Amino acid sequence: MTDLLFEDEVPGDAGAPPARMRTLDPWVVMIVDDDVAVHQVTQLVMSDFEFSGRRLLFLDAYSAAEAREILKERQDVALILLDVVMEHEHAGLDLAKYIREDLGNTHTRIVLRTGQPGQAPEEHVIKTYDINDYKEKTELTKRKLITVFYSALRSYRDIMIIDQSRQALRRSIDAITKVYDSQNLRRFASSVLEQVARLLGLEAQGLCASRIAAYAASHVEGRLKVLAATAEYSALLVDEDLAQLPKEVREAIDHALDTQGNVFEEHRFVGYYRSSTGNESLLYMSFSEPVDASARELLEIFCANVSITYESLLLREEIQETQRSTVYIIGEAVERRSKETGAHVRRVGELSALLAEKSGLPPGEVEFMLQAAPLHDVGKIAIPDHVLNKPGKHDAEEWAIMQTHARVGFELLNKSEKRILKLGAIIAHEHHERWDGQGYPRGLAGAQIHIAGRIVALADVLDALVSHRCYKAPWQFEEALSYIREQSGRQFDPDLVTLLMQNLDAVKSIYERHPDA
């Protein structure tokens, strides 16, 4: 080991960093050399090395073959100090080629160390092999070795930041299409939050939370709801229990809320944002290194934008809930006029949504089914009471009058250009058509009937059979299912009957949630 000379260490990057809130994972460095002394001396002189708040973890391989086995299992090696001559004259070069080409690993920094430069000329090696530095062992003083570590690890860190940011951006782009409610916003915002930290080139953990004002959304009023979180706080996206946060984190958040302002510390930032409607949002982040003003500004913008988006989504959900409630009120008013329970329209809506989902319809269309199906009998408002509530069988004239409710419902709802009411018009018009073509009002058959009409036809009949009506007592559930099976391929779409029978647990749970009063 006479060709490795080490001098006293010179100062590196700005001295040792202050204490962190948590211990960061070390940089993984692999030494590949058949000389045991090389391993021992390298680890000895680099034992107190630290970069970006992280120390070193050394892996030892005494041959290229041994290194291959280790690298098959590990993807976190930041730096490889690689000897050329081991099992044979080009073992190190062959290993470098294997890492880049066979493993597809372009992230790990490879520094070639050789005591026999003539066997692997520098120009040829640099040109032919994807290595990052070439050093003769005679020139690796302690000072130069430290320089090699700083350079290689800084390069590896930056490559990983770019790669992780690319992955986070991919998740964010994918999540954009799914931000249709406040729950999906959390997935999107968490991806962006991770990406922001990595683009800043910092090891960072944190969360973003919002508290809604009383008049903005009463169902989440007054408590902090976590909208985004990095990995360390990801459990809060599930249970939102901020009481489980470390004491210093809760105290920092409470202080920002009390003062209604930002809190800046060297390794911690708490951003406070209050919207024009009084909603409050907070961003808590802890960093491995001090953050500058531009980083804080970017984080403040993130917090404000997430808060505004969340507020807008809550407002949209409030409007949707109001719309859904209005539909139920209309449907229940019709049902009460015909002396039926209001639970019928809710059950038909949920049964229809269930069948729509199991039929493979997109989530948006399933939601439309949930809201439109309760309007299936809205045309009954035009049916005279003596016909609508007759306890016995209708005569021919009365039956003809009763059948007009399908057309009347269609005409009422089809006047609107809104998609839910358009779908409601189709359902009102076709939910009494039959698979065999013997239904009304148009005698459509099979696939001529819109899928929504076929779904509600099945849901409506099932619920009517098990419910009390002025003309009959309720059937037992199994009795109603037997009738549905008998009418498969006749009154009902056979595929929908199969889906119903395959999901009876979900069907029964609907009746448990919405029993007759």
Domain ranges of the chain: 27-161, 178-303, 338-513
Amino acid (1-letter code) at residue 120:
A
Catalytic residue among 380, 393, 418, 508: 380
Q: Nearest 5°: CA angle at 131, between 125 and 134?
A: 65
E strand segments, 297-399: none
Poorest-confidence range of 18-27, 37-46, 148-157, 497-506?
18-27
Residue 18: per-residue pLDDT = 38
Give the fold, CATH level 3, of 338-513: Hypothetical protein af1432 (1.10.3210)
Return phi, psi of residue 306, to 5°: -65, -40
Query: 390 an active-site residue?
Result: no
Above 50 in pLDDT, residue 216?
A: no
Above 70 in pLDDT, residue 221?
A: no
Cα–Cα distance for residue pair 375/511, rounded to 1 Å = 19
Amino acid (1-letter code) at residue 387:
V
- Beta-carbon count within 10 A of 344 CB: 24
Cα–Cα distance for residue pair 468/385, rounded to 1 Å = 18
Cα–Cα distance for residue pair 488/191, rounded to 1 Å = 47
* pLDDT, tens digit (0-9, with 9 covering 90-100), for 87-115: 888 898 899 999 999 998 989 999 988 87
181 band by pLDDT with thresholds 50, 70 and 90: low
> What percent of the chain clears pLDDT 90, i.e. is strictly above it?
36
Q: In terms of pLDDT, which residue wins out, 214 or 43?
A: 43
* Inter-residue contact 408 to 376 (CB < 8 Å): no
Q: Kindly give the pairing relationship between strand 268-274 and strand 263-265.
A: antiparallel
* Inter-residue contact 61 to 30 (CB < 8 Å): yes
Q: What is the domain class of 178-303 according to CATH?
A: alpha beta
268 band by pLDDT with thresholds 50, 70 and 90: confident
Amino acid (1-letter code) at residue 320:
Q
CA atoms lying within 13 Å on the CB side of residue 376: 28
124-142 in b/e form (b: 16+ CB < 10 A) is ebeeebebbbbbebeebeb
Q: Which CATH architecture has domain 27-161?
A: 3-Layer(aba) Sandwich (3.40)
328 band by pLDDT with thresholds 50, 70 and 90: low
Q: Nearest 5°: CA angle at 356, between 432 and 473?
A: 45
* Inter-residue contact 230 to 190 (CB < 8 Å): yes
